[in-house]
């Protein structure tokens, strides 16, 4: 297996044509996106609608939270290992378990939340969609710290902004995949998305063999939108690691497993990682990632799109409910569970099973 680092860089796309009235420019952007997602499924985007001053406020608030004593942070500790909510200390997750790799725990801590308003109101009022047994923990109530005091209102505002941006991306996906406008609407109108602020403290000792700040993994949602920080690497179809460039006021966008399955492997759900710096290097500094994971409706059936299959290219994956796929992957990383053959057959992707494992 080839594991070297390439001189290539992750592509950069300017999204501003999507927000213009130039239909030809929109189509050209969609073609460029399709090309990138076929090759690496990982890109840096500029020209987006997100107010970066809001992102700056979120960043400062999250750093203030992570600076609190551990006992204070644990007041909103994760309530259960299948709920993406609350604070999770360092060494509490192994992201690589989501793709069937047995590695040491990750050198990160994080705080997670879901959609504002839904868990606190509709979930508790027994809304038939949000409180149904089939929803599982996807709409578990959010846990909010008392300090810093602006944490909740600013993070809720940012969550809403990122949700609108993700809806825009799906409209661009429809254009790139030659789908009718609005094709995804009924599949993503009640998304079970999550937001995570992930903090990587400076290392104080050498990592264990194979231990990273964030272990090698693929995201198992529709699409991920992430702030850009040094140390992030993505893996291309040949199995080579590519450094993700740090560009001011940009976001990293990467395709998740659900879109990969929807597109029948036309688009990649790329493995990525955050490397552990040398103790004596300038890179051994605290690192913060603000990550929005856009997930479809929990009851959406993930099955091959009509434009991504043919007689010569039949569907590679059986249909699966989004909630089942997401929870299976998430609990693997929180419980440090190894994959069984049955798990690999049902929840793996062609990419994680063959392309990277056998590359080179």
Q: DSSP letters of 62-125? A: HHHHHTS-HHHHGGGB-SSTT---EEE-TTS--GGGGGT---PPPS-EEEEEE-SSIIIIIITT
Across the range 120-146, mean pLDDT stands at: 75
Residue ranges covered by each domain of the chain = 5-355
**The token pair that represents 222 in the structure block:** 């529709």
Tell me how far apart the alpha carbons of residues 194 and 88 are, in angstroms, rounded to a whole number: 14
Alpha carbon distance 118, 148 (integer Å): 22
Distance CA 89, CA 97 (A): 17
Give the whole-angstrom CA distance, residue 256 versus residue 258.
6
For residues 216 and 275, give the distance between their C-alpha atoms in angstroms, rounded to a whole number: 9
pLDDT, tens digit, for every residue of 59-108? Answer: 999 999 999 999 999 999 988 877 888 999 887 666 665 556 667 777 88
For 29-43, 130-144, 166-180, 329-343, which range has the lowest pLDDT when averaged over its residues?
A: 329-343
Look at residue 342 in the predicted model and tell me its pLDDT.
Answer: 54
The pLDDT of residue 7 is 60
Which helix (DSSP H) or strand (DSSP E) does residue 128 occupy?
Answer: none
Comparing C-alpha atoms, which of 65, 99, 115 is closest to residue 214?
99
- What are 199-224's pLDDT values in tens digits? 988 888 877 777 777 777 778 889 99
Categorize the per-residue pLDDT at 353 as very low, low, confident or very high, splitting at 50, 70 and 90. very low
Answer whether residue 4 shows pLDDT above 90. no
Model's pTM, two decimal places?
0.87
Q: Where are the alpha helices (DSSP H) in the chain?
A: 23-39, 52-66, 70-73, 151-176, 185-188, 257-262, 322-335, 341-347, 350
Question: Which architecture does CATH list for 5-355?
Answer: Sandwich (2.60)
The pair of three-digit structure tokens given for residue 184, joined into one six-digit string: 């995804």
Q: Which of 298, 284, 293 is nearest to 253 (CA)?
A: 293
Q: What's the confidence (pLDDT) of residue 137?
A: 80
pLDDT value, residue 295:
93
Mean pLDDT of all residues belonging to the chain: 84
Task: Supply the Cα-derived Rg of the chain in whole angstroms.
Answer: 19
Q: Are 8 and 236 in contact (CB under 8 A)?
A: yes
How far is 223 from 257, CA to CA, in rounded Å?
A: 8
């Amino acid at each position: 297996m080839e594991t070297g680092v390439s001189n290539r860089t992750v592509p950069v796309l300017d999204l501003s044509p999507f927000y213009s009235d130039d239909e030809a420019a929109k189509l050209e952007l969609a073609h460029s996106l399709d090309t990138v997602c076929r090759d690496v499924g990982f890109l840096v985007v500029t020209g987006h609608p997100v107010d970066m001053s809001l992102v700056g406020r979120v960043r400062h608030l999250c750093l203030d939270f992570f600076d609190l004593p551990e006992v204070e942070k644990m007041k909103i500790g994760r309530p259960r290992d299948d709920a993406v909510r609350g604070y999770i200390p360092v060494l509490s997750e192994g992201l690589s378990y989501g793709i069937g790799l047995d590695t040491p725990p990750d050198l990160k801590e994080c705080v997670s939340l879901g959609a504002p308003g839904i868990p606190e109101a509709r979930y508790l009022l027994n809304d038939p969609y949000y409180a149904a047994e089939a929803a599982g923990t996807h709409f578990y109530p959010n846990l909010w710290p008392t300090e810093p005091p602006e944490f909740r209102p600013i993070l809720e505002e940012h969550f809403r902004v990122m949700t609108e941006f993700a809806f825009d991306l799906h409209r661009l996906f429809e254009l790139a995949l030659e789908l009718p406008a609005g094709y995804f609407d009924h599949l993503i109108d009640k998304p079970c998305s999550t937001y995570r602020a992930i903090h990587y403290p400076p290392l104080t000792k050498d990592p264990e063999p194979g231990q990273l700040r964030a272990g090698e993994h693929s995201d198992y949602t529709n699409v991920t939108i992430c702030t850009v920080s040094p140390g992030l690497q993505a893996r291309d179809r040949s199995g080579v690691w590519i450094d993700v460039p740090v560009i001011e006021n940009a976001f990293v966008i990467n395709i998740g497993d659900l879109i990969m399955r929807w597109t029948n492997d036309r688009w990649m759900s790329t493995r990525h990682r955050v490397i552990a710096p040398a103790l004596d290097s300038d890179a051994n500094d605290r690192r913060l990632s603000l990550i929005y994971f856009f997930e479809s409706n929990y009851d959406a059936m993930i099955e091959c799109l009509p434009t991504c299959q043919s007689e010569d290219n039949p569907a590679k994956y059986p249909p699966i409910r989004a909630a089942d796929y997401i929870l299976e992957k998430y609990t693997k990383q929180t419980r440090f569970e190894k994959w069984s053959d049955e798990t690999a057959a049902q929840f793996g992707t062609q990419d994680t099973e063959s392309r990277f494992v056998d590359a080179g």
